[in-house]
Amino acid sequence: MKNLIALFTMGLVLPAAAMAADYAQSPTLDAAVENDTLPPVAERLPQVPEVIEPYESIGQYGGVIRRALAGSNDHNNILRIVGPQGLTRWNADWTEPLPNVAEGWEVEDEGRSFVFRLRPGMRWSDGHPFTADDILFNVEDLMLNPDFGPVPSRYVIAGEPMSVEKIDDLTVRFTFAAPFGSFPAELASPRGQHPVLHPKHYCSQFHGGYVENINALLQQEGVSDWPTLFQNKCGDIEIPARWGNAEKPTLDPWVIAEPYTGGATRVVLERNPYFWQVDTAGNQLPYIDRVENIVLRDVQAVILEAIAGRIDLQARHIDNPADRPVLAENREAGGYDFYETYATGGTLLLLQPNLTHKDPELNEVFNQKDFRVALSLGMDRQAVIDIALLGQGEPWQYGPYEGSPLYHERMATQFLDYDPARANELLDGLGYTERDAEGYRLLPSGRRLSFQVDVIPVLFAEAVDMLELISAQWQELGVEMQINSLERSFFFERVSSNWDHDWAVWPAAMGWQQGTLLQEMVPIWMGARYGIGWWHWFQSNGANGVEPPDHVKRRFELNEASRAAVTFEEYRAAVHEMADIAAEQFEIIGTSTDLPRYGIVSTRLRNVPLSMPASFDYPTPAPTLPQQYYFAE
């Protein structure tokens, strides 16, 4: 009914005030509206707000969501509840990008340009209008401004950064040098929020190009350059300072009231009175008044808070399978229940040989496909799963799971059978038939066929257990794998900044959705530990690193093609061609599907789906729209 009325009003072009009666607001804002410190709700909302269909039921206003942050560096935990309010967002199933801050978009010129329409009358959280000028400020004055920093790689296509033009106050066109069909998907990622991150009217006062006497301001603030000042005041994607300034207007459902700074023991967000979404009954979202995040240093303290019933919604820091029993035991006393988060693909533990190894002999060994196949066949995955993972998980190489439209059978399931006889045959066939006194095979130079696998033991508890079992199984093949436990930054120094490792392991729960990095198939990121040398070559345009073979270069092209794809079918085709090559090469070895994970949710909290994808690219639980969660009486 409300929708009908809205349609009519639009059709008759009645003044916005006529709609005032149709929208409801939180009672906490009534007083402010009555004494004229806040305009009425209809004037705060866009002329046509986005209508959100609640997950189960229309909610009621009020309440506080209590959560916990673990120390510093947990800024993305705030992002996960507030949501990356970019031009687009992912749907709850993580299958297609939807309009978000933008009202909609059109693709032009076969995916070379995108015209985004904004919502008339939409406002920042301080009431200032949100227009095309804000987008131009973000793109031209920040993203494309070399003084501020390099252009983020997701806005670079065919070596050219994107350009932007203002068509009118509410319409902008982004143009690329080549087709970039994944653009709307990239914008839905937490790392794609750049075009609408900063309000021009507020943040331009810290911008070197806008402030006349910037040096006086820098001196006063005690920083050396304006980009530092800008990040201090307005923050940036992926730094804590993003939540460190309560004065910065945003487009988020809740805005910072008590900021996340170095000394903070609590971070509080309060409702944005100008938030631009309503439910199907015309109630302005969010339903919930406040989000209170207590900052705890110790992860055990987070669990203690949870079982004491002082946490309403949390997955991060407590989703370790080992913590589940204690949480389950105190479920009733703590007044919470579990919700499931699931990976859409990938493997819990990915073993990656360094195919760009600096030692010529090991390089040759690792680069033989039969060697890698032998190791995969010589791994008794079911035993590893039964012992180290308590039977959770299934043998799996990597890639999306069966339900996904991107599922690639060969990639996921080849060489999974445990066949030590065949594995030994393959190794014999490679000529490593001599053995030493302990039964290990010898290389032609006379040294033992032995390598180290680099692992960060604190990253997840099961990794070392799994590796120990695998190491014992490979010993049966006459291959020695030594486990090399490393401190975190040393690991990165060795296996990402450089390629000094023999093998390395890392969790790789990837479902290949548009906008995610397909690094297990193509070395375009630091997680591609089978080809870090190739990655360095790729990102330095051939200046550093190791030149990759043709099949890798072909995958670089296909990766570009996947980004260019306008339709899902084109995307799938490019990705699957890449997967065909990667499956043929069989560079890396998977173990088990990802473990089922969980979060806890207060039994009073409604409209929370009990199952949702788990990923930072998604990012959980933001696309399920926490602004439409509410507390039942």
Partner 1 sequence: MLLTYIIKRILWTIPFLFAVSIVAFALIQAPPGDYLTTFAATLAQSGDMVDQERLEALRTRYGLDQPFIVQYWKWISGVLVGDFGISFEWQQPVSNLIWERMALSLCLAVSTLLFTWAVAFPIGIYSAVRKYSIGDYLITTLGFLGLAMPNFLLALVLMYIGVVYFGADVGGLFSPEYQTAPWSWPKFVDLLKHIWIPVVILGTSSSAALIRIMRANLLDELNKPYVTTARAKGLSEFRLLLKYPVRLALNPFVSTIGWAFPQLISGAVITAFVLSLPTAGPLLLQALLAQDMYLAGAFILLLCTLTVVGMLVSDILLALLDPRIRYR
> How far is residue 475's CA from residue 450's CA, in Å, rounded to a whole number?
10
Task: Supply 269's token pair.
Answer: 């967000």
Cβ contacts of residue 215 below 8 Å, gap of 6+? Answer: none
Candidates 49-57, 109-117, 257-265, 280-288 — which segment interacts with partner 1 by CB under 8 A?
A: 257-265
CB of 173 to partner 1, least distance (A): 24
- The answer to whether 411 contacts partner 1 (rule: CB under 8 A) is no
Handedness of CA 435, 438, 440, 446 (dihedral sign): negative
Is position 152 an interface residue for partner 1 (rule: CB under 8 A)?
yes
- Peptide bond connecting 549 to the previous residue in cis, omega within 30 degrees of 0: no
x-or-dash string of contact with partner 1, 178-207, rule CB under 8 A: ------------xx----------------
Indicate whether 545 belongs to the interface with partner 1 (CB under 8 A).
no
The binder of partner 1 chosen from 358, 488, 551, 604 (CB under 8 A)? 488
Question: Minimum CB separation from partner 1 for residue 492, in Å?
Answer: 5
626 belongs to the binding site for partner 1 (CB under 8 A): no
Does position 511 interact with partner 1 (CB under 8 A)? The reply is no
Size of the site for partner 1 (CB under 8 A): 65
Q: Does residue 168 touch partner 1 according to CB under 8 A?
A: no
Return d(Cα 585, Cα 591) in angstroms, integer: 17
Judged by CB under 8 A, the stretch of 2-10, 169-177, 394-402, 481-489 that binds partner 1 is 481-489
Is 517 near partner 1 (CB under 8 A)? Answer: yes
Please say which residue, 15 or 263, places its beta carbon nearer to partner 1: 263
280 scored as a contact of partner 1 (CB under 8 A): no
Could you tell me which stretch among 32-40, 305-313, 466-474, 561-569 binds partner 1 (CB under 8 A)?
305-313
Can you tell me whether residue 247 is helix, strand or coil? coil
Complex with partner 1: residue 71 or 127, whichever CB lies closer: 71
Cβ neighbours for 484, distance < 8 A, ≥ 6 positions apart: 452, 453, 454, 455
> Measured between alpha carbons, how far is 385 from 590 in angstroms, rounded to an integer?
12
d(CA 503, CA 452): 6
Task: Give the one residue of 27, 149, 405, 444 binding partner 1; rule: CB under 8 A.
Answer: 149
Which residue from 90, 112, 115 is spatially nearest to 103, judged by alpha carbons? 115
Residue 542 found at the interface with partner 1 (CB under 8 A): no
Q: Does 325 bind partner 1 (CB under 8 A)?
A: no
Taking CB under 8 A as the criterion, the residue among 85, 100, 125, 231 binding partner 1 is 231
Residues 489-508 that bind partner 1 (CB under 8 A): 489-494, 496-497
Strand arrangement of the beta sheet that strand 347-353 belongs to: 347-353, 503-508, 450-455, 480-485
Chain centroid to CA 589:
23
335 binds partner 1 (CB under 8 A): no
Q: Is there binding between residue 316 and partner 1 (CB under 8 A)? A: yes
Does 214 engage in binding with partner 1 (CB under 8 A)? no
Q: Does 331 bind partner 1 (CB under 8 A)?
A: no
Q: Does 544 bind partner 1 (CB under 8 A)?
A: no
Which one of residues 266, 358, 369, 551 is an interface residue with partner 1 (CB under 8 A)? Answer: 266
| Residue 138 found at the interface with partner 1 (CB under 8 A) | no
DSSP state of 164: E
Helix, strand, or coil (residue 361):
helix
Structure tokens at 503: 């093998």
Q: Min. distance of Cβ 305 from partner 1 in angstroms?
A: 8
Location of structure tokens 């916990």: 68
Contact flag: residue 526 with partner 1 (CB under 8 A):
yes
Distance separating the N- and C-terminal Cα atoms of the chain: 27
Quickly tell me which residue has 């990705």 as its tokens.
575
- The stretch near partner 1 (CB under 8 A) out of 1-9, 26-34, 72-80, 605-613 is 72-80
| Rounded (10°) angle between helices 462-475 and 381-388 | 140
Interface segment toward partner 1; rule CB under 8 A; list 162-170, 475-483, 520-528, 542-550:
520-528
Question: Is residue 225 at the binding interface for partner 1, with CB under 8 A as the rule?
Answer: yes
CB contact at 8 A, 305 and 311: yes
What token pair was written down for 453?
């696998």
At 171, the amino acid letter reads T
Q: Is 326 in the site for partner 1 (CB under 8 A)?
A: no
Minimum separation from the CB atom of position 94 to partner 1 (A): 14
Q: Among 40-48, 293-301, 551-559, 562-570, which window interacts with partner 1 (CB under 8 A)?
A: 293-301
Let me know the angle formed at the C-alpha of 250 by 245 and 254, rounded to the nearest 5 degrees.
85
Burial of 110 (0-12, 13-18, 19+ CB in 10 A): exposed
Q: Candidates 2-10, 123-131, 259-267, 473-481 — which segment interacts with partner 1 by CB under 8 A?
A: 259-267
363 binds partner 1 (CB under 8 A): no
Contact residue for partner 1 among 11, 15, 159, 262 (CB under 8 A)? 262
d(C-alpha 615, C-alpha 341), whole Å? 9
Please give the Cα distance from 492 to 489 (Å, whole number). 5
Determine which residue in the list 60, 145, 163, 232 makes contact with partner 1, applying CB under 8 A: 232
Residues pairing with 164 in the sheet: 174
Within 13 Å of residue 554, how many CA atoms lie on the same side as its CB?
Answer: 13
C-alpha–C-alpha distance, residues 524 and 557, integer Å: 11
Distance CA(605)–CA(314), nearest Å, equals 12
The residue (of 367 and 539) whose beta carbon lies closer to partner 1 is 539
Residues linked to residue 70 through DSSP beta bridges, in sequence order: 296
Residues that bind partner 1 (CB under 8 A): 71-73, 76, 149-153, 190-191, 221-225, 227-228, 231-232, 235, 238-241, 244, 258, 261-263, 265-266, 294-298, 300-301, 304-305, 307-308, 310, 316, 456, 459, 487-494, 496-497, 509, 517, 525-527, 539, 615-616
